[in-house]
Structures are given as C-alpha cells and as structure tokens.
Structure 1
C-alpha cells in the first residue's frame, strides 16, 4: 500500500492577518489583532480537504490600538499573558467548508467549528505556489475563562461574550 505524500505549507505572514471583533457596550464593535503568530498546514491534495492545520498566537502581541485596553486584555482578567503566553489551534477535520479543531486559550481547550472560504492556489512572480483562505467563526470568551465583566450605570454590558474571529491566511508551499 502506497503512503500518500504530504505537502507542507508555511504561513506567508506578510499576507495574513488574525483579527477578532467584539461588541463594546453593545453599541459599537472593537477590532483587535495578534501581531505575532504562526501557522502551518500539511495536506495530501490541492483542495486541502483533511489537511492538518496548526496555529499559534503570542498573546502578548495583542493590539486593539489602545494600550490601556491591550494591557487589560493581557492581564488575568482576560488572557493572563504572563502565565499563558500562547493561544493555539489544532485542526481535527476540514471538509473544504468547515474547519473543526481544538482552540486552547489559557488552560482551556474547546472544540470549535470555523467557516472557511478556500480561495484557491496561485503561483506568484517568483515561482512560489501560494494558497489563500478566509476563515470566520464565533467563540464564547467565557468558555475559555475570559470572564471579566462589567455593566454600565444604564445597564449595558461593557464587553460581549461572543467574539467574532476573522482570519485571513496565505500559505507558501514548502
């Protein structure tokens, strides 16, 4: 029996972005990014079905364009970057549309399902084969012990429990 050859793909950081969106006071949306992250993929086919995806973000690299808010997110109220410096994702399955995997934040691991648009393959002017993905999904921050909460005098929740993930990844074939 012949073993399928796996193709390795490394993240093209210059053309990738990991971001999240969360409602603030239920009237506006705050967007944040992880500035320092890496990802890999291994696949046996060009459509990436059943590919193995791995992702790691450095929690200390969180950036919401507000240093006070970033410091609060890195504190024990949220991510506790000092004790849990990385956020990780490891895929379990990918059918071409849905990516299922384990997301670990702090010391909590939960299975999540993400929607994926695979934008196909292209060869750049330097002869490198690239693959592009747009990934979206939602997680409940309280599932990962990110439980800090406050309510305004008017009764509005300051930070929503639902976090929208917006991930744009481009991989380079090894």
Structure 2
C-alpha cells in the first residue's frame, strides 16, 4: 500500500511540475462587447482594466484553465454619460458589483486551432454557465525575449437580463456579444 501511495504522489507531483502558467500581455489584448440599440444599430464598448491567466499541462491546451476578471468601473463606450449610466444601479451597479469574472470548467479542442471553452461567468452577483467559441494560436517564440507566446480570441453571447443587468425592452437588446482577445506569455 505504501508503494502505491508513493507512486501516486510521485505521479501527481510530476503532473504539477509540467503545469505551465501563462500571463496576459495587456498591451496586446482587449475585452470588448457589442449591444444593439433601438434594435437598429450596434454600440461597441470595452473594459479598460482587466486581467487574465491560463494554466495548462498539455501542449495543445486541451486541459487549460482560463481565468478572467474585468473591473466594471472601467467600462468604456466612448460616451461619458452612457458609461456613468452603465455603472449605476440601473445596470451593472459598479459600487456593489465591482468585477465581471469568468473561470473555465472545460476546454474542448475542435478542428485546427478551434476550441470550445465552457465555464462560469459571474456578473452583477449572478453566476451562470457560458460557452465561448475560441481560436488559440501558437505557441511561438518571441524573437526578442525568447519566451513562448500564444494568442486566444474568444467570443460568445450573454443575456444581460438573465444576470440582472438592466431590464428587457425595446431600447437595448437582451443579448450582448462579447469578444476577448488576449496575448499570453509563458511564465
């Protein structure tokens, strides 16, 4: 029994040794969203302050864990009055719910560089499952730093009303398209 426990412990330690952490390069990343206004035009926005990381022990990232967080107070739609309204209790209530977070629960590799990322999105104090379509490019070696880098672009739709962000009506679509693009460097 002792040998089995020692072998199991050694195996788990070797897996932990191969786990790789990748940090976000914010200068080459962005977090955006699009919502339809009056059911006729799209309005784009972004978050200025955010962070993400991923951990993976497999080269193809099929076991990766993605973690993401955006500060609600950093919302930017290029209109100060609208941004203030979005931060208010009418929508995000940034004073009470300061962050939007996502943590993956499952990564499924598709054809080529395509993946499906399933996880839990928490927004406005509500957590719901979210599935993102993603493209993972790389890794490649940065010619200057010699560090490994990779890129992820992920997108999906979120029903904002289901999270308690605003109410349903003719002014704004219930669904919001989100798009996250990140460049990561291996630590």
Report TM bin, short chain. Answer: over 0.9
Q: Name which of 98, 104, 110 aligns with 2:116.
A: 98
Alignment match, 1:171 = 184
Whole-Å separation in 2 of the counterparts to 1:138 and 1:62: 18
Residue correspondences, number: 168
Matches within 5 A, 1:51-130: 51-96=64-109, 97-124=115-142, 125-130=144-149
**Within the alignment, does 1:148 sit opposite 2:167 as a pair?**
yes
Q: Secondary structure at the match of 1:159?
A: coil
TM-score where L is the length of structure 2: 0.87
Whole-Å separation in 1 of the counterparts to 2:178 and 2:88: 21
| CA offsets 1:23-70 (integer angstroms, 9 cap, x no match) | 011111000000000001000012111211110100000000000000
Q: Runs of 4+ in structure 1 displaced over 2 angstroms?
A: 147-150
**Within the alignment, does 1:26 sit opposite 2:44 as a pair?**
no
Please, which runs of 5 or more residues in structure 1 have no aligned partner? 151-156
TM-score where L is the length of structure 1: 0.93
Give how far 1:146 is off. Answer: 1.0
The structure whose RCO (Cα within 8 Å, separation 6+) is larger is 1
Whole-Å separation in 2 of the counterparts to 1:15 and 1:94: 23
Give how far 1:148 is off. Answer: 3.1
Give how far 1:120 is off. Answer: 1.8
Q: Verify the 8 A CA contact 1:47 1:120 in the aligned structure 2.
A: no
Please, which runs of 5 or more residues in structure 2 have no aligned partner? 1-7, 110-114
Whole-Å separation in 1 of the counterparts to 2:73 and 2:186: 29
Rg larger for = 2
Structure with more helix by fraction: 2
